[in-house]
Amino acid sequence: MNVLVVNVGSTTLKYACIDTQRRERLTEGLIDRIGQDGGDAPDHMTAVQDALQKHADIEFTAIGHRVVQGGDRFTEPTRVTDQVRSDMVELDPLAPLHNPPARRVIDHIATTSASIPQVLVFDTAYFSTLPPVAYRYAVPDSVYVDHGVRKYGMHGTSHQYVTGLALDHLAAQGIDRTSAKVITLHLGGGASATASIGGRAIDTSMGLTPLEGLVMATRCGDIDPSVPIYLMRTAGWTVDQVERVLIKESGLLGLCGQADMRRALEAATDDDESAKLAIDIYVRRLHKYVGSYFAVLGGLDALVFTAGIGENSAEIRRRVVEPLHHLGLRMDLPVNAWAKPDVQPIDLSSDDATVRTLVVPTDEEWAIARQTADLIDGR
């Protein structure tokens, strides 16, 4: 089955057509800066129409969409119907930058190409197994019930995919995959940590929105919740100003002027003190989450690095793992230095490690294509 995977961002539309039998990418591309001066398309509807036109000579069976926010309503891959399209409108406030353009693309395809089955794969779905002790905030019931204020998590498709590969690796070493304890670190422009037991998520770092948790390229992650209130009261900032600063001007960018970890590491090597501090804060936040999840899990079988930074930055992996010897993590530094994962996990652990350190390449497009094909085939 050929599946066209569509991943809509606030100003982008990525696509890939994947042969799910041979696991082969037939096409892939990016329509960038949508709606901006000099951009590739004036709006998302034009963008998806362009993407479909590029596949005029390729027969595909279904379209699989990555959707950021499914709330507590959509907890598994879901085939698009009129009712589903209507229900999705209510989720717009939970992901205002991503869900509305994705929904408009889905509506456009349903209107203009109704014969093509569409399947929605939600970033939040993997976290439907979180227990209330993990997803509830200490706010009044009315805030939770009436406004849906709770932890939903993000990057779930990636965390689920790499956790599955990590479990395969552990099972080959004689570890029972049904009870294996894994922490996955999805470290890219956005970053999140997830704790899982036997492939079921039990905690994750992102919350109601993707702002909570780790330090990211331009997002601050965890801060005192009173900071926005303080800035609005004392500096006269508007809600929009606070949102812009915390989401687009903070993180690595806010700390050292570099949103790209590669540039930040280069600056730190050149004795840029702000870059050194930014990386130290980034790594310290990771240590706090790994340590807390170690406690919540009651032990650990594998720590997994994935996504752009996790897969490609040996230096960040080293900085995270080396101080954690007391948790049983020990790294083979030469292996870490050359490790460039392709499809399968690479084990970075030294011989005396009691907890495995893995780098596992994520492939969200393949995961979405596979889940789409399974649903269409009735599996």
Tell me the C-alpha distance between 83 and 94, whole Å: 19
Residue 176 among the catalytic residues: no
Q: Residue 248, class by beta-carbon neighbours within 10 Å (0-12 exposed, 13-18 middle, 19+ buried)?
A: middle
Tell me the C-alpha distance between 257 and 253, whole Å: 4
DSSP SS3 for 41: coil
> Please, what is the Cα angle at 183 between 351 and 352, to 5 degrees?
10
DSSP SS3 for 320: helix
Cα–Cα nearest to 122, from 146, 144, 106, 143: 106
CB count in 10 Å sphere of residue 184: 31
What count of residues does the chain have?
Answer: 379
Tell me the C-alpha distance between 228 and 236, whole Å: 11
- Find residue 201's DSSP bridge partners: 196
Q: Residue 117, class by beta-carbon neighbours within 10 Å (0-12 exposed, 13-18 middle, 19+ buried)?
A: middle
Q: Which of 37, 57, 92, 123 is catalytic?
A: 123
Is residue 79 within a helix (H) or strand (E), and if so which, with residue range? strand 78-79
Cα–Cα nearest to 277, from 258, 259, 261, 256: 256
Cα–Cα nearest to 341, from 372, 307, 373, 379: 307
- Find residue 118's DSSP bridge partners: 63
DSSP SS3 for 88: helix
Cα–Cα nearest to 118, from 60, 52, 63, 75: 63
Tell me the C-alpha distance between 219 and 230, whole Å: 18
Greatest C-alpha distance within the chain: 59
- Find residue 28's DSSP bridge partners: 16
Residues classed as catalytic: 123
